[in-house]
Every structure is written in C-alpha cells, then in structure tokens.
Amino acid sequence: MRERIALPNIVMEDAMDLYPSIAQRKSCRKYDMRPLDTEVLDEIARAIDGFEPLYPDVALTWRFTKKVKGRFHVDAPHYLIASGTGAPGEMEAAGFLFEQLALWFDAMDIGCVWLGSSKDTETTDTKQDIIVLAFGNVEGSAHRTLDQFKRVPIGDITNAPDDTCIQAVHLAPSGMNTQPWYLEKHGDKVFVYEKKLKPPLSLAYKLSDIDMGIGLCHYAIACKEAGKNFSFTRDTSLPNKQGYLPFGIIE
C-alpha cells in the first residue's frame, strides 16, 4: 500500500550556505563547559525558525536543557531536545530539520553531536521527546577533512556513486555509524531504501528513521547547491530490495 505523508516541493532557501559543512562536520565529544552567551542561544532559535521542514504538516517542537543522561552520554554545556506528537514520519522529519542545525553549528564553529539514548533530566514530561543534540564550544577544532570520515564504500549505498547529491548523503552522520540508506537512481527519480539492521544491532538501535531524515537533509542541501528542486514522498510500495525496507522517492 502507498503511504503518503506529504508532497512538499522543497527549495532550501535559508540565508546561510550549509553545503560546505557537509564535507567538514564531525561529531564533537569534548566541550568547553562554559555556557554560550544568551545572544548566541537566541540566534540558534532564529536559525531553527528559518530551516525547511521535510513534511510541513508534521509538527515538531524543541527546547534547550542543561542536563540529560543516558548511555553513550557526552557532557556538553547545552542540549537541544526535539519533540513531536507521535505523528507518522516525525522521526525522519526531526532528522531532516535538526541536521540543518548540526550543519549550521559547524558553519558557526560550534560543535555538536546527536545523542540517541539520552533523556532530559530537568523534566519528567519526556514521552514525546524524539532525539537530543548536545552542543557548545569545543576543545580543539569542530571540523575535519574528508579523509577523516569513516564511511562504507559509496558503492554500498547507491548505484550512482558520481551523483553529488548522493555523495552528500554518503557523508551524513547516523547512529552507531550504521549508514542505513540505499539510494537507487532511476532516471530523474531516486528510490530510497532503509537498511534492515540485523540482531544484535537491531535490538539496540531503533533510530534509523532519524538517520534517513538526516541523509535526506544532506541530499536536499546538495540539490540546492546544484540549483535543483528537492521533493520527497514517503512511499512503502517501491519494488522489494533484499535486506532493505522501502522508504520513499526523491523526484
């Protein structure tokens, strides 16, 4: 059955060029614990308002907090908590929206890292929380060079390794570096698949939809760079692909 959540025709038109950050960002895990100035936090809020949603009708909210805890924790002066309402598609929507923030942080020399198992400890009202981003000034550099990315060969995630938009997905972060995306190019369409994780990883890690949204964010930003429109439709009726779940179509 075809599951359609939204049919946006997205043209990313935010003020800051996020494309260069795709090839230099990294997960930062060592922070200067001094808090950022209030003006910087206000600027972050304004930047989020300017980002493009994956699905305009999927509502996401966010808040800052200073205390979270969980496995694979990283100490940072600030955390952003992204929340939803339980709507279908909100995990990839959160990945898509807040990866724009992760790239914006990189462009601003601020470090960040997604935290998949951490929970806000400043409130008990965390049921609708989706994901945490730790951020702040880093000790050392917030950037790296292309040769420092650890990724599977690009041929493992696509049949079109020369496509610059797919190359941008190849550099995207994912939980436990699972890189769950497969992008199969057919003319001007791209069938998007999500890798079925195998046990024990599949038991420990449930955030692949967020990773899919993060990958789509990199694709959309590379489209903007190339002067192309980006349109994504969730579609679970794609032809079967062994080891993968159908995810959607980029047109």
Interactions with ligand FMN, residue window 129-158 (CB under 6 A) = 131, 149
- Residue 27 found at the interface with ligand FMN (CB under 6 A): yes
Minimal distance in Å, beta carbon 20 to ligand FMN? 15
Q: Please state, as a whole number, how many other Cβ atoms lie within 10 Å of the Cβ of residue 90.
A: 25
State the Cα angle at 167 between 166 and 172, rounded to 5°: 90
Among 5, 26, 79, 184, binds ligand FMN (CB under 6 A): 26
Rounded to 10 degrees, what is the CA torsion of 62, 72, 70, 199? 100
Minimal distance in Å, beta carbon 189 to ligand FMN? 26
- Residue 74 found at the interface with ligand FMN (CB under 6 A): yes
Interactions with ligand FMN, residue window 159-178 (CB under 6 A) = 173-177
Minimal distance in Å, beta carbon 107 to ligand FMN? 16
- Residue 120 found at the interface with ligand FMN (CB under 6 A): no
Tell me whether strands 189-195 and 61-65 are parallel, antiparallel or unpaired: unpaired
Among 113, 168, 190, 192, binds ligand FMN (CB under 6 A): 113
Q: Which is nearer to ligand FMN, 64 or 149 (CB)?
A: 149
Q: Which is nearer to ligand FMN, 111 or 248 (CB)?
A: 111
Q: Please state, as a whole number, how many other Cβ atoms lie within 10 Å of the Cβ of residue 127.
A: 7
Q: Which is nearer to ligand FMN, 138 or 214 (CB)?
A: 214
Q: Mind giving me the DSSP string for 165-176?
A: HHHHHHT---GG
Q: Are residues 4 and 235 in contact, defined by beta-carbon separation less than 8 angstroms?
A: yes
| CA distances for 50 relative to 38, 53, 74, 210, angstroms | 19, 9, 27, 20
Among 214, 216, 222, 250, binds ligand FMN (CB under 6 A): 214
- Residue 111 found at the interface with ligand FMN (CB under 6 A): no
Take residue 55 and report the two structure tokens written for it: 């699905």
Tell me whether strands 111-115 and 61-65 are parallel, antiparallel or unpaired: unpaired
Angle, helices 208-225 vs 90-107, to 10°: value is: 50
Interactions with ligand FMN, residue window 51-70 (CB under 6 A) = none
**Any residues with CB less than 8 A from the CB of 236 and at least 6 apart, and which?**
1, 2, 3, 245, 246, 247
Minimal distance in Å, beta carbon 127 to ligand FMN? 19
Choose one: 83-91, 104-112, 113-121, 223-231; the region binding ligand FMN (CB under 6 A).
113-121
Choose one: 30-38, 79-87, 115-123, 234-242; the region binding ligand FMN (CB under 6 A).
115-123
Please give the residue ranges that form the binding site for ligand FMN (CB under 6 A).
26-27, 29, 72, 74, 113-117, 131, 149, 173-177, 207, 210-211, 214
